[in-house]
Structures are given as structure tokens and as C-alpha cells.
Amino acid sequence: MNAIPTIALNAVEGLELSRFREMDYFVVEELGISVELMMENAGLHLATLTASFADAADTILIGIGNGNNGAGGLVAARRLAGWGYNVVLDMPVEISKALPQLQLERALKFGAKTTSAGNINIWVDAYLGFSQRLPLSAAYQERVVRANQTNCLKVSLDIPTGYLGDSDKLYFEADHVLSLAAVKNILKDLPVSTSVYIADLGIPKAIYAKFDIPFPPFNKNTILKIEK
């Protein structure tokens, strides 16, 4: 993978979660860009970022929840397994919703496993997304505690599980966070040691303008690293 371009934090405008929800809803309802298509984009970018840190023999554990963020994680699992990585799925809750179920079936067919991970080299957090509510359930709390105690690289999709702006509370302590479409404002308060990236979800520049959101300079680059 080519080096990910870096842009200054002051070159991109942060976005409140409520504003992102509005834009996300508009794209689905008015433009006909399906949730499944956007999760395919999100999962591909997550897989690409994760693979940039991985060695061929690494075990990559991907934490999956029963929502769109979990389904995006399953897309990443499918991609990574298809590229030959050893991918293990961790599912603290039953996967019962239609899209996550579909993505789970696909990931398993591509070689992702549900067996014990053994030694974990990379732990990917796709448990919960921007719609998460606190406090976390006991199942997710247990996973976050165990992840934070595990000596491995940690990557979160969009927003770390358990994090809504307060780093003093229990949350998945990611080394890298891939924010979808724009930098969420709450991510600016993460520790300086946490690297933040933004990924192109396929939302057109005109829609950013409609919502008075500056368009990130994606151009030929679908992932950008934010320099704090």
C-alpha cells in the first residue's frame, strides 16, 4: 500500500454527530445510495488501513456488533480474509439484523473464522458506531477491558466503542481511528497518541456543500491521515 497522505487538522472542519446523521440520512433517502453500498466503502477502507499495519502471518481479530458498524467490520473481514490474512471474528451479541447477517455469511465464505483467536496481533473495533449509547452493556464492557489489556495494535472504525468525547470513561483505546466521511469533533479530544484518519464514503462534494460542510481533499486519495 502507498503511504497515506497527511493533512493538517486545521485543513479539515470537524463535524458534530447529529450533522453527520443528517447528511447520512439524506444520501440514503434522496440520492438512493444504499447503506450497504456505503458499508462496502467503509469496510474496504478499514481493510486497507488495517492491512497497512499487518504482516502476512498476523492474526487479525475483528469485533463485530449487530449494526451497520459491525456490518462494515464484516466487509473488512471478508476483504482481509480474501487477501490471505488470518481473520477471526468476535461477536459479543447475536447477529440478528439483515445486513449484518448477510455480511457475516459472506465473510465466513471468504475464510473468516469464529474460532478462538489465540495470539492477537491486531484488534479491530467495529462493535458500535456513531449511534452507540452509554453506558456500555456488560458484554461490550468485558470486550473493551480485555482489548485494552491485550498487547496488540488496536484500530477503531469511525468512533471507538465506549467513547463519546470523555476519555476518562471506559472505551476501546485505539491506536488508530478511521473516521467515515469527515472528522467527528469528539475525536479531536482523543489522546495525542491516537492517530485519526478520514475515509471517503462516496458522498459527493455537492452534498457536503448542501450541509455547509467543507469537502475533505480526497481527490485521488480515499484515506487521509490527520496531522494533529
What is the edge-to-edge ordering of all strands in the sheet holding 59-64? 6-8, 223-227, 195-199, 176-180, 153-157, 122-126, 59-64, 86-90
Tens digit of each residue's pLDDT (9 = 90 or more) over 17-40:
888 889 989 999 998 889 999 999
Task: For residue 90, give the C-alpha cell.
Answer: 468476535
- For domain 6-227, the CATH superfamily is YjeF N-terminal domain (3.40.50.10260)
State the pLDDT at residue 8. Answer: 82
Q: What is the largest CA-CA distance in the chain?
A: 48
CA–CA distance, 159 with 166 (Å, rounded to integer): 12
Give the number of other CB atoms < 10 A from CB of residue 154. 20
**How far apart, in whole angstroms, are the C-alpha atoms of residue 192 and residue 94?**
35
Q: Number of helices (H) and strands (E), helices first, in the chain? A: 6, 8
pLDDT tens string 123-174: 999 999 888 999 999 999 999 999 999 999 999 999 999 999 888 899 999 9
Q: How far is Cα 95 from Cα 97, in angstroms, rounded to an integer?
A: 6
Q: Do residues 42 and 155 lie in contact, with contact meaning Cβ atoms separated by under 8 Å?
A: no
pLDDT tens digits for range 41-100: 999 999 999 999 999 999 999 999 999 999 999 999 999 999 999 999 999 999 999 999
Please tell me whether the peptide bond between 92 and the residue prior to it is cis, using omega within 30 degrees of 0.
no
Q: How many CB atoms within 10 Å of residue 41?
A: 20
pLDDT at 1: 53
